[in-house]
């Protein structure tokens, strides 16, 4: 047998990790040159005044293109796209501890893009952030990713204008990927919703636009100290950027993954989509769908005008929570390494339990319960002395689907007496760096925990 000289060009091996990226991210986080946080907030305020924005509540029968399907009562769009509001029958866990309930849920099978464009200026990474209006935002206009679009949006189902800068996230030749991961969203309100969270470093010059501004990570971190300024999609995308510096933690990575696998095994989530009209305990009126106890959330309809969006006017349903939420990490520094107390959280719209905050709830939904039946650590967080609160700000959730869905996000120092290292069932201490590592992979870290991860990285010793 004669050997054949294979002259084909073979690909060369490359490093599995970008060793320079953590240092570049750290430098950007430490850089505050350019506009101050107040100047950037002033720019957002000016854009609110320069562009026509209006959101008005309307009855369901005033929705354009939306209607309740006669067979199911589901709230659907005539195009068959965007999303639907359906019913969900949920069972979590195994008998005898199985918990069951039914509720309305948003079903949106499309995978959207939450993309932030990066570029180096004077040796420092900057990120192109957008002043974007969403109808559910408390301040309407918030700092958002470069691209924040559903598949229906960027394929122009709404027959609107093209999504600016989309090509950097769909054409690999336009940039270098720094982070790219499919992440879940709010499992209490979405049924298995995922978005592609991306950070792409642009190749070559990037055209400018008045609704966009280049900021360092340090500038973004400063803005996270202000209420309702940096939107959920930006927080989620940024969570995939942070590197790991501490080589040690209370438990190994393998032990953490094994613990989560065990938690998922004993709390399986079974979610079955059912007709919205059949969901017990929920009543449809002319302008809202409400729970009989007046708790949890309601479904409402709005009319929207936005001069800087791909479409200038539209109507849509939104989910409106019945009160302000509390989302918190308890934190302890163990032998010099920051740790947070996570909870394996099972939500009806999740595929599996994910690592969530220590506390995540709307306190008003539990106010009628005795202390022993309220969420663990809730009273500790809400009664924390100011000296123990390391971080506190109001942040809203996805303004394109939720109306005034605001939670107080906190990082609270705890001691051994309140939060022992031997954590209660369903909870576990993990290092900040372990959480950052898992946030670079799908379905490990919940959207609320990703926000808190970004907030943790704003703290001085982080």
Question: How far is the C-alpha of 30 from the C-alpha of 24, rounded, in Å?
Answer: 10
Q: What is the pTM of this model?
A: 0.95
Cβ burial, residue 244 (10 Å; 0-12/13-18/19+): middle
Are 206 and 130 a contacting pair, CB within 8 Å? Answer: no
Distance of CA 261 to the CA centre of its chain: 23
Q: In Å, how far are 95, 114, 266, 447 from 132, measured between CA atoms? A: 46, 13, 41, 20
Are 403 and 211 a contacting pair, CB within 8 Å? Answer: no
Could you tell me if residue 96 is inside a domain?
no
Range of the domain at 369: 253-270+323-456
Per the structure, the count of domains in the chain is: 1
Could you tell me if residue 430 is inside a domain?
yes
Could you tell me if residue 242 is inside a domain?
no
Cβ burial, residue 345 (10 Å; 0-12/13-18/19+): buried
Could you tell me if residue 282 is inside a domain?
no
Furthest-apart CA atoms within the chain: distance in Å: 84
Q: Where are the alpha helices (DSSP H) in 211-293?
A: 217-223, 232-238, 253-266
Question: How far is the C-alpha of 102 from the C-alpha of 447, rounded, in Å?
Answer: 22
- Please choose, from the candidates 330, 333, 269, 305, the residue with its C-alpha nearest in 3D space to the C-alpha of residue 88: 269
Are 310 and 160 a contacting pair, CB within 8 Å? Answer: yes
Could you tell me if residue 382 is inside a domain?
yes
Residue pLDDT tens, the chain, 462 long? 455 555 667 778 999 989 999 999 999 999 998 999 999 999 999 998 888 889 999 999 999 999 999 999 999 999 998 999 999 999 999 888 789 999 999 999 999 999 999 999 999 999 999 999 999 999 899 999 999 998 877 666 656 678 999 999 999 999 999 999 999 999 999 999 999 999 999 999 999 999 999 999 999 999 999 999 999 999 999 999 997 777 899 999 999 999 999 999 999 999 999 999 999 999 999 999 999 999 999 999 999 998 776 778 999 999 999 999 999 999 999 999 999 999 999 999 999 999 999 999 999 999 888 988 899 999 999 999 999 999 999 999 999 999 999 999 999 999 999 999 999 999 999 999 999 999 999 999 999 999 999 999 999 864
Could you tell me if residue 162 is inside a domain?
no
Could you tell me if residue 371 is inside a domain?
yes
Could you tell me if residue 213 is inside a domain?
no
308-337: burial string, b at 16+ Cβ within 10 Å, e else: bbbeeebbbbbbbbebebbbbbbbbeeeeb
Domain holding 448: CATH number?
Answer: 3.90.79.40
């Amino acid at each position: 047998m004669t050997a054949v000289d294979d002259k084909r060009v073979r690909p060369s091996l490359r490093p599995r990790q970008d060793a320079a990226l953590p240092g570049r991210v750290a430098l950007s986080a430490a850089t505050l040159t350019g506009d101050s946080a107040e100047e950037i907030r002033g720019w957002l305020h000016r854009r609110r005044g320069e562009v026509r924005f209006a959101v008005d509540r309307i009855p369901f029968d005033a929705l354009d293109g939306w209607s309740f399907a006669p067979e199911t009562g589901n709230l659907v769009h005539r195009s068959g796209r965007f999303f639907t509001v359906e019913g969900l029958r949920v069972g979590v866990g195994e008998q005898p501890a199985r918990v069951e309930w039914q509720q309305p849920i948003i079903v949106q099978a499309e995978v959207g893009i939450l993309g932030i464009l990066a570029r180096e200026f004077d040796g420092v990474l900057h990120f192109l952030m957008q002043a974007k209006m969403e109808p559910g935002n408390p301040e309407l206009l918030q700092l958002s990713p470069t691209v924040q679009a559903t598949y229906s949006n960027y394929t122009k189902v709404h027959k609107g204008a093209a999504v600016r800068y989309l090509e950097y996230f769909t054409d690999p030749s336009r940039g270098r990927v720094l982070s790219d991961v499919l992440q879940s969203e709010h499992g209490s309100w979405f049924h298995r919703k995922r978005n592609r969270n991306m950070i792409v470093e642009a190749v070559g010059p990037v055209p400018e636009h008045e609704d966009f501004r280049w900021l360092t990570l340090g500038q973004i971190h400063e803005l996270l100290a202000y209420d309702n300024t940096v939107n959920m999609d930006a927080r989620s995308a940024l969570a995939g950027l942070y590197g790991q510096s501490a080589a040690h933690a209370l438990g190994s990575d393998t032990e953490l993954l094994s613990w989560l696998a065990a938690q998922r095994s004993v709390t399986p989530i079974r979610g079955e989509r059912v007709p919205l009209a059949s969901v017990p305990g929920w009543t449809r009126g002319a302008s809202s769908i409400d729970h009989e106890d007046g708790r949890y959330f309601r479904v409402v309809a709005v009319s929207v005008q936005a001069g800087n969006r791909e479409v200038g006017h539209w109507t849509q349903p939104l989910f409106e929570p019945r009160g302000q939420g509390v989302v918190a990490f308890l934190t302890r520094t163990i032998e010099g390494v920051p740790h947070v107390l996570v909870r394996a959280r099972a939500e009806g719209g999740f595929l599996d339990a994910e690592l969530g905050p220590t506390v995540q709830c709307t306190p008003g939904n539990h106010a009628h319960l005795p202390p022993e039946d309220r969420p663990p650590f809730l009273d500790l967080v809400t009664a924390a002395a100011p000296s123990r609160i390391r971080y506190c700000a109001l942040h809203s959730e996805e303004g394109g689907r939720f109306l005034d869905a605001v939670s107080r996000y906190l990082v609270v120092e705890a001691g051994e007496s309140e939060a022992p290292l031997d954590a209660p069932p369903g909870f576990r201490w993990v290092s900040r760096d372990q959480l950052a590592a898992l946030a670079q992979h799908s379905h490990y870290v919940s959207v609320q925990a990703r926000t808190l991860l970004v907030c943790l990285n704003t703290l001085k010793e982080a």
